[in-house]
Amino acid sequence: MSPNTHLSESGRGTWAPRVSSRAEDREGGPPAPAPASAASTWDRARDEIVRGGHRGGLLLVAILGLGYLALAQFVLWTNDPAQVGMNFWPAAGLTLGTLLLLPTRRWAWALAAIALAEITSDVIKGHPASVLIWLTIADTTEPLIGATLVRGFTRHRGALVPVRGLVEFVAFAVIAAPIAGSALGTIGTTMAGGDFLESWPRFFVGDALGVLVVAPVILSARAGRGRRAVRGDVLPVAATIAVSVFALHAWPGGWDTVTPYLVIPPLTWVALHSGVRGASWAVLGIGQVANLAVATGTEPFVATSDTGYTVTLLQAYLAIAASSALVLASAASELSDRDALEEALRLQALHDPLTGLPNRIQLLQRLNDFLAGARERGVPVAMCVVDLDSFKHVNDSYGHPAGDAMLVASARRLQESVRETDLVARIGGDEFVVLLGGADDSSIDAITRRIVDRISAPLVFDGAEMHTTVSVGVAITDGSATPDALFRDADSALYRAKSLGRNQVARFDSGEAPLPVAAD
């Protein structure tokens, strides 16, 4: 079938061509102009950022810079990384995730946005120039190293499914890049009077957590899910974050050493229910709750740790919770994808790729079911072998696309001619098989006559009207016949129908001698 021509039914048994867009095919009419929406506006902005020139670059600088500045100011409000590092630096995940989504040619714009936002943030905080310079170098170098390693040395290039892709991402983006970035940032901390050996581990863990928690949110967005699926993720994610508000709190009596683990069950639920995207959003929310707890001095683990080490324990907790949730979500998504692939392969193995009908393999499987049902219920089974007459003439005269269109239309007409409980299959070339279960003689006659009438109706393709007729051979059994015997008898009846002039139905009669078959 040509890409611009479609077969449309106009009245019973007649078909006419119409030219339409894909949208018209799906909706049954010409596509209406889509109203402007926030989603379409964002799509245009995204295309401008990714493919545009200087205008897109400036837009990238504005969006990424403002996002970075907002996240940085939030964390700087909770603690001062110039002195002790940070609990959790979400801007690290924002920058690395953004670089991985952008083509390499746009990285310079993104790095400029990071530098401007970091300088602005440090000026607002009042950091001295020495600290400002080293933090800016660290926060631009780290995502550059991470994105380069992930792009250049991993097979999955930042994909978090399968699990191997997640492991590669963690190795290069969560561990290797923050090691370098935190070392550079700690130089500025040391210049501000901080202790290098105390600050560097917290810098490293804070950056690593930022990448582990925020980057998956950005990277999972490119996978794309339907709006219904996204709406279904809201409740599990919101419930998990709500539990974390209660759990990540300095409850008296030592309870704050236990309550953080209340987050694990709902987080597991999100990972299994919503996959990597849902788990990453839940982990991001939990991380922000933890930052707020630190800012207000109500973080957990106070009862069992000295002052200053509660943040370290909270970092370890977040790292374990985030990595566990993402690994579980990635593994569950990988298994789900594998199941979907296996199901697609199974369907492909059992269906004809042109018409979508069951193929010979599925026909044989279903035939055994039909025969078993006939034996159990004492009802007959009829096999109708349907063959298009002079189909070679259609291919020779109009071309193979027209022949394919004829086969597709014939398959549809066959399905329209039978009952819902019957089976229509294509077994090769221009030959189809129809299985009729529990049909009496009058039903068999009515169905086969309907098949002959409908398939003989004209078919218009690319302005040309094509005609074909059909011969049908019918064999009936009470379930005692073998599949091979039923095929043989139906073929014999088909040969009789063709020998008697085609465009008719013939039933198998064991008392009649087979007739010679005229060539198509």
Asked if the structure places residue 23 within a domain, the reply is: no
Q: Is the pLDDT of residue 511 over 70?
A: no
CB 213 within 8 A of CB 323: no
pLDDT digit string (tens) for 77-115? 766 554 444 567 889 999 999 999 999 999 999 999 999
Beta bridge partners of 465: 460
Asked if the structure places residue 200 within a domain, the reply is: yes
Q: Do 330 and 397 fall into the same domain?
A: no
Domain boundary among 316, 345, 374: 345
pTM greater than 0.85 (yes/no): no
DSSP string, 248-260: SS--TTTGGGTGG
Q: Do 341 and 375 fall into the same domain?
A: no
String of b and e for 405-434 (b: at least 16 CB within 10 Å)? bbbbbbbbbbbebbeeebbbbbbeebbbbb
Which range (72-81, 102-111, 242-251, 254-263) has the least confidence? Answer: 72-81
We report the CATH number of the domain holding residue 388 as 3.30.70.270
Domain boundary among 300, 316, 345: 345
Q: Do 137 and 166 fall into the same domain?
A: yes
Range of the structural domain that residue 494 is part of: 360-507
pLDDT range class, residue 196, cuts 50, 70, 90: confident
**Interstrand relation of 505-507 and 469-477 (parallel, antiparallel or unpaired):** parallel
Q: Do 316 and 273 fall into the same domain?
A: yes
Q: Where are the alpha helices (DSSP H) in 260-308?
A: 264-295
- State the total domains in the chain: 2
Q: Do 194 and 299 fall into the same domain?
A: yes
Q: Do 113 and 146 fall into the same domain?
A: yes
Q: Do 230 and 296 fall into the same domain?
A: yes
Domain boundary among 345, 372, 402: 345
Name the DSSP letter for residue 9.
E
The larger pLDDT score, comparing residue 291 to residue 444, is at: 444
Q: Do 368 and 465 fall into the same domain?
A: yes
pLDDT range class, residue 226, cuts 50, 70, 90: low
Q: Do 165 and 268 fall into the same domain?
A: yes
Asked if the structure places residue 351 within a domain, the reply is: no
For 127, the 3-state DSSP assignment is: coil
Calculate mean pLDDT across residues 49-72. Answer: 87
pLDDT digit string (tens) for 158-182? 888 889 999 999 999 999 999 999 9
d(CA 317, CA 310): 10
Q: Do 389 and 335 fall into the same domain?
A: no
Asked if the structure places residue 115 within a domain, the reply is: yes
Segment 304-312 long-range contacts (CB within 8 Å, at least 24 positions apart): 304/254, 304/257, 308/84, 311/79, 311/87, 311/202, 312/201, 312/202, 312/205
The larger pLDDT score, comparing residue 89 to residue 296, is at: 89
Asked if the structure places residue 77 within a domain, the reply is: yes
d(CA 104, CA 151): 9
Asked if the structure places residue 418 within a domain, the reply is: yes
**By C-alpha distance, which of 511, 481, 508, 482 is closest to 495?**
508
Q: Do 318 and 464 fall into the same domain?
A: no
Asked if the structure places residue 2 within a domain, the reply is: no
The larger pLDDT score, comparing residue 151 to residue 301, is at: 151
Please report, as a single letter, which amino acid is at residue 413: R
Q: Do 158 and 241 fall into the same domain?
A: yes
Asked if the structure places residue 514 within a domain, the reply is: no
Q: Which two tokens stand for residue 84?
A: 């002790």
Beta bridge partners of 474: 384, 507
d(CA 220, CA 503): 58
**By C-alpha distance, which of 251, 483, 231, 474 is closest to 370?**
483
pLDDT at 82: 47
